[in-house]
Amino acid sequence: MSDRSTEGTGATHNTVSGNAVIAGPLVQAERIGSISFGPPGPTAPPHQVPPPSRVFVNRTEELTALRAGATARGAERMPGVILVTGLGGVGKTQLVSQWVHSDLEQLYPAGQLYVDLDDVRLDGAVDTGAVLAGFLRALGVHKDYIPEDPAQRAALFRSVAADRPLLVVVDNAHQAPEVRPLLPPAGLLVVTSHRHLPSLTMDGALHVVVDPLDRSAGIELVRHWQVTAAEGTAAELVRLCGGLPLALRAAGEWLAGRPHLGLDAVVRRLAAGQHRSPTEETDHVDTVLDTVIAELPDHSRRLYLLLGCLPGNGVTAAVAGAAGVTRVDDALGDLVTAHLLVAAESADRPQRFRPHDVVRAHARTLASGMPEQDRLAALRGVADFYLAAAAHADAAVLGRRFRIQEPPSRTVDELSPGEPLFTTSAEALEWLDAERSALLELLRLASKEGWYDAVWRLCESLWALYHSRKHHADSIEAHRLGIEAAQWEGRQDAEVRMRNQLARAHYELRQYGPAQAQLTVASELLGLVSAHQLSGVVRETQGLIALDLGRPDDAEALFRQARSANAEAKDEHGVIVQGYNIGQALVAGGRWQEALEALDEAMAGALAADDGAMLPRIGIVRARALRGLGSLAEAVDSAVSAAEVAAERRQYAKLDQALAVLEELAALTMDVKLREVCDLRLRELRGISGVAPRTESG
């Protein structure tokens, strides 16, 4: 470690072996006190509920019920739940949006959180943990403090939201267990659903039913865009549309684009269409949509059809272009104008357009009639787009990590010439997360179609998302598909990579048996591959499991094998990481001097390679080794230096660990000042990281 000036502090120094000069207690406390944490996370309350439409009619009865329910639950000073149900297209979300923006912003000043569960629903199941992680980030919790386990995320959400009057709006719930973890302890949860959820009402939720518009309300809505509409004609349109605002607005936009026609023309078209289909409730919307779609330009109609077969719950301009849609901007504009797509708010990623769930179901019905060759060509174009974009995002997030596949032939700008997909590491990770459901669905589709090369390559790139955001369930499913794909392709190197990444997901979930099973097969394949790094990653994961299971000697041996493999591959970073891991294993085994030697070697390598991300990790473990040797002053200096570098690099998890180690060392040395400063800085750190500060020191 380099000497540090203490001029003017009046502190003492302790000189140790070598050239290191260790500052006295007062200086160490001052160093910790002078650490800058950087700007805090988001401080403005989130306002995520979508804005209402400008035209809103005759929901007086429902609004009255909602207002009364919110007032009553606020007076009880208990968390409240309101369930809003009704047919698809009846206007549940619009009703809630109108109510929130007109009444609730002052009642719930801590902010509004919003999620459409259809965006995070895979095979009928909702990843509640992912929803909670998004909520925690919106509330200012730093990513380093978001736990991996969904139950722990729910507990942290309750803690963070404990004293905040929050409003949480959840769209498209299918069952009560999906929403219970999202209940704010001091706020209100509003849930919309197509169906009644009896267990919520049994728990005390207020149930508000949204019915289709009656005759007079429907006529009022029609006259917002057709002022001179005859009452009888408008009433017939309301009947044909089933009183559903979505259908009425789509019909109105259709007519607005044809000013030479009158309202009676719309009625005639819809009446003719209704004779061709059964008169069930949902067919009111289908009839209107059939009429609107039939008269769209070819490029817009093609985009609508593709909404029914493309992966994910929405589309961007880049994805539409990759699917072969021409005049993409015009097509998106036509569908937005016709109320068939909604532009989702997005400040840090490409504009996304989402269909209403009723529209999406209708598009799927139409897409089922597409020629198979046409459908597959569109999907292949989209697969190629995501394959290249995910590889670029992986590189942006994780840098120059070892990868089997070659870099994409197309640049990010070439993939999305209209607007950048991402420009920074943070934006790349957000893009991957926004595309998460589409990427997993694409893996399933590609596997089904036998596009195995694309499957394993996409899996390799998705490590950046799955590891960073802890989407372990997605990772397990994706890598099982990746293993099968690698086997079909005869790519033993890819199979080793897939099995190791799958093992890491199991390892992080503490599922050691399944992890070891994958690593056993991967180890058997190592003799068939040439890349030394593959041996390194497998031995590293085996070592991490051994360390967790209390076998530090086995872990050390495995980490040494991993380091040798990385050295043969001339992978400097890999050598440094394994040196750090060797140090961890030796510390766990109480072999303090050997640990210190290994960690000093890793530290020298990190400094020489300018591998700043490793410095705090090495410094923290080095402090523990020095503590074991009884060199407490040196241990304090190592932990202080680790804290300084971690703060500079915004590695808040490592900064937290360094400060916690320092608290322990301060207690051992009876350094009251250092302990007080560390406790204060930990409180400050957890405060700016969005985590409630601790109530007691130590």
Averaged pLDDT in 10-residue chunks for the chain of 698 residues: 33 36 69 79 79 74 85 73 89 89 82 89 83 91 86 92 91 93 93 92 90 85 77 84 83 75 77 53 72 89 94 92 96 89 72 87 91 96 98 92 93 90 92 93 97 98 92 94 98 98 95 98 96 95 98 98 96 95 98 98 95 95 97 94 91 92 93 91 85 42
**233: helix, coil or strand?**
helix
The answer to the question of residue 28 being in a domain is: no
Give the C-alpha separation, 543 to 566, whole Å. Answer: 15
For the sheet containing 352-354, what is the strand order?
315-316, 352-354, 342-344
Rounded Cα distance between 325 and 302, Å, is 7
Residue 228 in any domain: the answer is yes
- pLDDT, residue 529, reads 95
Of 209, 229, 263, which residue constitutes the final position of a domain?
A: 209
Are 388 and 264 found together in one domain? Answer: no
Q: Which domain holds residue 643?
A: 612-689
The pLDDT of residue 584: 98
Measured distance CA(563)–CA(536) in Å, rounded = 7
Note whether 344 and 466 are same-domain residues.
Answer: no
Q: Would residue 310 count as lying in a domain?
A: yes
Predicted local distance difference test score (pLDDT) of residue 107: 80
User: Quick one: 148 and 274 in the same domain?
Assistant: no
Can you give the pLDDT at residue 350? 79
Residue 18: the pLDDT is: 36
Q: How far lies 508's CA from each of 403, 548, 583, 681, in Å?
A: 21, 10, 20, 29
Q: What is the pLDDT at residue 555?
A: 98
Q: The CATH number of the domain where 308 resides is what? A: 1.10.10.10
Domain co-membership, 515 together with 647: no
Tell me which DSSP letter residue 47 carries.
Answer: B
571 domain-assigned: no
pLDDT in the model for residue 630: 95
One domain for residues 327 and 455? no
> Is residue 155 a contact partner of residue 146, using CB atoms and an 8 Å limit?
no
**Quick check: is 442 in a domain?**
yes
**Residue 570 domain-assigned (yes or no):** no
Are residues 362 and 422 located together in one domain of the fold? no
Say if residue 396 is in the same domain as residue 355.
Answer: no
Same domain, 340 and 224: no
Tally of domains within the chain:
5
Q: Which pair of structure tokens corresponds to residue 137?
A: 């980030």
Kindly report the pTM of this predicted structure. 0.84
- The CATH number for 454's domain is 1.25.40
**Which of 530, 550, 570 delimits the end of a domain?**
530
Other CB atoms within 10 Å distance of the CB of residue 357? 17
Residues β-bridged to residue 25 = none
Token couple for 188: 């209100």
Sheet holding 167-171, edge to edge: 112-116, 167-171, 188-193, 80-85, 206-209
Instruction: Give start and end residues of each alpha helix (H) in 279-411.
Output: 283-294, 298-307, 317-322, 328-337, 357-367, 372-398
For the chain, report the end-to-end CA distance as a whole number of angstroms. Answer: 27
Are 199 and 104 in a shared domain?
yes
Specify whether the CB–CB gap between 244 and 87 falls below 8 A. yes
Supply 547's token pair: 């360390």
| CA gap 335, 348 in Å, rounded | 23
Let me know whether 80 and 170 are in one domain: yes
User: Do 394 and 504 fall into the same domain?
Assistant: yes
- Is 697 among the domain residues? no
Relative orientation angle of helices 614-629 and 632-648, to the nearest 10 degrees: 170
State residue 520's pLDDT score.
Answer: 98
Q: Which of 242, 272, 295 is the last residue of a domain?
A: 295
658 and 642 part of one domain: yes
Report yes or no on 1 lying in a domain: no
Structure-derived torsion over alpha carbons of residues 224, 228, 233, 238, reported in degrees to the nearest 10: 0
